[in-house]
Amino acid sequence: MSFAPALRLCTRRVVAPALIRPSITFAGARKLHSGPPRQDKPGKYAQTDPQIEVEYPEDHELPSSEPVAGTGGQYVKPTLPTFSLDGHVGIVTGGARGLGLVMGQGMVFSGSHLALVDMNKEEAEKQTSLLIEAFKKENPRARRTPKVTAHYADVSDPESVEACIAEVVKEHGKIDNLVTSAGFTENFEAVNYPIDRLRKLWAVNVDGTYLFATSVARHLMERKAPGSIVMIGSMSGAIVNVPQPQAPYNAAKAGVRHLAASLAVEWAHANIRVNCISPGYMLTAL
């Protein structure tokens, strides 16, 4: 027998016994528990000591030089230093509250001009003022303040969507990015779901996403400009929530997920990226 086959045979003979050892022996040696982990004691290491405070330096303690232009770090402390939306114009539908508002804030803090779109224009106008105030507070040395505007749209109505897009372009000159956050959910048993409510739910969650995405895509293609569209789906588009009955909502969000994938392929040639985020439960207004 040559050296290589003999070596392989020896290896098999040594390893084989280890493969048939009963797992209970291994577990017993390490004193592992087979039951669920106990919840009656706090973790020993993964804790936050409330006595420890890490203070960010005051403005007068920072270097005297101006921030470096073109980086997200120019705008706000939490922003990634390599990420910037400087000079971009973004739209967030359903932007007057909840996740839409928070995502809009993130865009503004990264340097983007922003159009908040909501059926409640009064609330959107209030939030635009608060966003600008927050930006100035966080960025006292910023050389410019992003432009934030409020707009009305019924996302389920094609004419309302087109009018809103035209208004945003008139105010900002262009559109680069879109976040489709407008949506709602309801809980009815499927056998008793009012058909008019089901149609409205689909019109807002699916049609509204489609109408805004296609309108912005047309604008980008006319400009021959790249762009990014982020659709807000839900974990409900991939799993079934328990115990609440919401089959139409789950199906609608599944549709949004696949719509994003389909449009990403269809618009790749135009350098328009389309992605879908599927959040879980959030303690925000919907």
Nearest to 212 by CA among 195, 196, 232: 232
Written as six digits, the tokens of 94 are 């359903």
Written as six digits, the tokens of 115 are 């159009």
Instruction: Write out the H or E segment, with its range, that includes residue 217.
Output: helix 208-223
Describe the crossing of helices 208-223 and 158-172 by its angle, rounded to 10 degrees. 40
Active-site residue identified among 110, 234, 236, 278: 234
For residue 281, indicate whether it is catalytic: no
Active-site residue identified among 110, 156, 249, 278: 249
Beta strands in the chain (DSSP E): 89-93, 113-118, 148-152, 177-180, 227-232, 272-277
CB 178 within 8 A of CB 143: no
Query: In 3-state terms, what secondary structure has residue 120?
Result: coil
Sheet of 227-232, strands arranged across: 148-152, 113-118, 89-93, 177-180, 227-232, 272-277
For residue 75, indicate whether it is catalytic: no
Active-site residue identified among 253, 262, 278, 281: 253
CA-to-CA separations, 22 to 18, 19, 28, 35, 235, in angstroms, rounded: 9, 9, 10, 18, 39
For residue 23, indicate whether it is catalytic: no
Written as six digits, the tokens of 91 are 């739209």
Written as six digits, the tokens of 51 are 């006595």
* Cis, peptide link before residue 243, omega less than 30° from 0: yes
Write the CB contacts of 131 (distance below 8 Å, at least 6 apart in sequence).
104, 105, 108, 114, 116, 148
What are the two backbone dihedrals, phi and then psi, of residue 274, each rounded to the nearest 5 degrees? -130, 125
Write the CB contacts of 31 (distance below 8 Å, at least 6 apart in sequence).
none
Active site residues: 234, 249, 253
